[in-house]
Amino acid sequence: MRITTLAATLALAAAACTDAGTAMPPTDDPAPQQGNATGGADNTFDHPDSETDVWKLLQQLQEQGPPKYTARVHGCVKMKYETIGHVLASRGVDVNSNTNLSAGQIYRTSDQALGVANYAARQRENLELTTAAASKLFDVFVQAAPEIIANMPNRPECQIGGVGASLFNASNQCEADGITCLIGVPATASHVELCNLTIAKASDVETGKKMAVAALLAAAHTCE
C-alpha cells in the first residue's frame, strides 16, 4: 500500500515537472503590431502573371522586330547636330549659305541651341530634345522649306531613273513620292491628307507649302 502511494506521488511530481518545462516563460515584449510597412491585401502590389505566352511573344517579335531593333526605332533622342546638316544638304539646302536668316546661316549659328558638343568644357552633345532645340530646329525647317521645294527633285537621293520626286504638283497638291523622299519613309494617305490640309488652312498657298514641309520634317525627325 505504501509502495503504491509512493509510486502515485512520484508520477504526479513527474507530470508537474513536465508541465513546468513546456510552459512559456513570461515576457514583457508587446505583441507585434500591424504597421504601414506590413504586407497585406490592401497595400501589396498584385504582380501580373509572369508566365509568357511563347506564341504571342513570337508574333510580337515578327511584327516589331527584336528588342535591340525596337529600342533604337522607338527611342526618342535628339537628332545630332551634324546629322541635321546632312539631312538638310541631302534635300537641297545650302548649309554653308551666308545669306542673312537663311536656313544654312540659322543652322550654323544655332549650334548651342541645338545642343552641340562642347569639347573645351568636356561636355558631350545633348541627347535630349529640349524646348529650345525643338523651337530652333523648326525655325531651320521653315526657312529651309523653299530651298527644299525647289531643289529636292534635283537631288540624286530623290531620283528614280533620272526623274526627281516633286513635293507638289501643278495644282499645288502634295505628292506622295515627294513626301516619301522628304521624310525618308513611305508616305501614307494620312501624310498626303495632312499635307494638303495644311496648305488649305494657310493664309496663302506658298505659306501653306512652307508650313507643310516644315511640319513633315519635324514629325519625321523629332518625337512630336
Interval 7-39: pLDDT, tens? 555 455 555 554 444 555 555 555 555 555 555
Element (H, E) at 217: helix 205-221
CA gap 97, 105 in Å, rounded: 6
Q: What average pLDDT does the segment 180-188 reach?
A: 93
CA gap 161, 155 in Å, rounded: 12
C-alpha cell at 193: 491628307
C-alpha cell at 199: 496648305
Helix%, strand%, coil% for the chain, nearest 5:
55, 5, 40
Residue 176: per-residue pLDDT: 95
